[in-house]
Amino acid sequence: MKTLEESRARLRGLFNITMTPFTADHAIDFPGLARNVERVLDLGFDGLLIGGTYGEFPALSTQERADVFRHVMDVVGDRVPVMLCAAGSDPRVVRELTGLAGDLGGIPMVTPPFVSEVTDEQIVAFFREMAPLSRTGILVYNAPGIGITLSPATLEQIADLPGMVAIKQGDLSPAAIDRIVGRLKDRIRLFCASDLAFLGPMAAGFDGISSTNSGAFPELLLQSYRAIEAGDSALAGRLHRLWYEFRALARQYGQPQTVKAAMTMRGFDGGAVRPPLQDLDAQEKTALASVLRDMARDPDCRLTLAD
């Protein structure tokens, strides 16, 4: 990516939210990260999201985040668009990572600054300050999990700022989705932030999704996404139901650690999580293995397990 126009043109489709694998002593496993990237690109994913919430960026230092950005962009080059999460509560860190992401050819993904009692006016001003720092534009992440949910009205104000190229929408309530599509479609790229409930936003007119669970089930999520992209909602819905039991476990145990454990069971580079998160315990792994074996029995899941 070199320009805003290129970002707007290429930001669409299924993006893998890439896990950051850690070794047993919590160092970043850079070779494993590269293998995870190559796996989904070889399958035909449209893009990547690196160092996001489920990439465990809050547990990484600013230098580590920059190192991950550089490593992934060296691996990917210009093959697909790459969202690089520059979110943070300290605007100095966000400025540094936003500028770096754009310089590397990625698209910086920025949340509102998650500090107490920040106002909508201050949030809009924050994005106005960040926008000129990236030559490739800014992707706004509306992430209710940080304690701030941007209203559709505030998102409209942000979308009108120069340099805004996409919104990753985490508030998936029907009313919010309806207004965002109705008011912002074709003005800015729209991404669904969750593969747990992407069928509705995609049917409504979103341009793509970012998928955490595609780390564990890249073949299944890709098949499901391509079905909805082709207008076959019945097939997409049936495929989505095939991994319901896994979604139930992930909600119970925590998504990044459950996805990483499933990746390891498939022979992928899941690695460990970094504190304060904790890896699944023996009982949780047993329950997960049972769910994966059941999924593997269905040929539509396209799931193989490591020996």
- Write out pLDDT tens, residues 83-124: 999 999 899 999 999 999 999 999 999 999 888 889 999 999
Residues 6+ apart with CB under 8 A from 307: none
The residues facing 49 across adjacent strands are 17, 83
User: Considering only CA atoms, which of 55, 49, 32 is closest in space to residue 257?
Assistant: 55
Residues 6+ apart with CB under 8 A from 243: 213, 217, 220, 295, 301
Taken as a whole, the chain contains a residue count of 307
Q: What share of the chain is helix, strand, coil (3-state, %, to 5)?
A: 50, 15, 35
Spell out where the chain has E strands.
13-18, 47-50, 82-85, 107-110, 138-142, 164-169, 189-192, 208-211
Residue 71 in tokens: 């490593």
**How much is the pLDDT for 147?**
85
Q: Quick check: 307 pLDDT over 80?
A: no
**Hey, is 110 helix, strand or coil?**
strand
Active site residues: 141, 168
Q: How confident is the model at residue 146 (pLDDT cuts 50, 70, 90)?
A: confident
Question: Tens of pLDDT along 218-227?
Answer: 999 999 999 9
**How much is the pLDDT for 144?**
87
Q: Quick check: 301 pLDDT over 80?
A: yes
Q: Which domains does the chain have, with CATH numbers?
A: 4-230 (3.20.20.70)
**How much is the pLDDT for 213?**
96
Q: Which H or E run includes 12? A: none
**How much is the pLDDT for 115?**
82
To 10 degrees, the CA torsion angle through 122, 138, 159, 226?
-140
Q: What is the pTM of this model?
A: 0.96
Higher per-residue pLDDT: 218 or 1: 218
The residues facing 85 across adjacent strands are 109
